[in-house]
Chains A and B, each alone.
Chain A
Amino acid sequence: MVHTDARTSRQAESSIRVAEGERVGVLFSSDASPEMPAALGRKMVECVDDAVRRRGWPLEILKQEEVYAALFPGLTPKQVLIRPNTLPLLVARAEIRERIERLHLRYLVLVGGYTDGGADGGVVPFAGWVWSRQRVDLAASVFELGRGTRAGSVQSGAAGSQFVVALMGVVPIGGGVDATGSACGPLGAEVVRMIGAPGD
Chain B
Amino acid sequence: MTRSRRKLRRCLLAVGCLFLLGGCGTVSLEPVLVREPRPEEIPVVIGVHYSTEFRTLVYRKTTGQRTLSAFAVGAASVRVFDEALSLLFKGAVQVPDRVPPAGRQSAVAGVIEPTITAVSYWVPQGGVSVNPVRARAEITYTLTLYSPQGLRLADWEVRGDGVDVADGAGVEISGAGSAVARSLEMAMREAAWNLVTHFRDAPGVPAWLAGQGVH
Q: Which residues of A contact B (CB under 8 A)?
A: 30, 34-39, 72, 75-76, 78-81, 86, 89-90, 93, 96, 115-120, 134
Contacts and interface: CB of A to CB of B under 8 A. Distances in A.
Contact of A120 (B128, B132, B163, B167): B128
A83 to B, nearest CB: 10
Chain A interface helix/strand/loop/mixed: mixed
Given A34-B163, A78-B32, A115 B132 contact: yes
A80 B128 CA distance: 36
B165 A38 contact: yes
A37 B165 contact: yes
A134 B37 CA distance: 36
Interface residues of B, number: 22
A89 B37 contact: yes
Interface in B7-55: 32-38
A90 B32 contact: no
Q: Return the 4 tightest CB-CB contacts between A and B, nearest first.
A: A89-B37, A78-B32, A79-B35, A81-B34
A80 B129 contact: no
17 contacts: A35-B163, A36-B165, A38-B165, A39-B167, A75-B35, A79-B32, A79-B33, A79-B34, A89-B37, A90-B36, A93-B38, A116-B132, A118-B130, A118-B131, A119-B128, A120-B127, A134-B131
Contacts of A118: 128-131, 168
A21 B175 CA distance: 49
Contacts of B165: 30, 34-38
B166 interface: yes
Contacts of B130: 117-118
Given A35-B134, A79-B32, A119-B129, 15 more contacts: A30-B165, A35-B163, A35-B165, A78-B32, A78-B34, A78-B189, A79-B36, A81-B37, A89-B37, A93-B36, A93-B37, A93-B38, A117-B131, A118-B130, A134-B131
Interface in B137-176: 163, 165-168
A37 B163 contact: no
A89 B168 CA distance: 36
A35 B162 CA distance: 10
Nearest to A76: B32
B71 interface: no
A86 B190 CA distance: 13
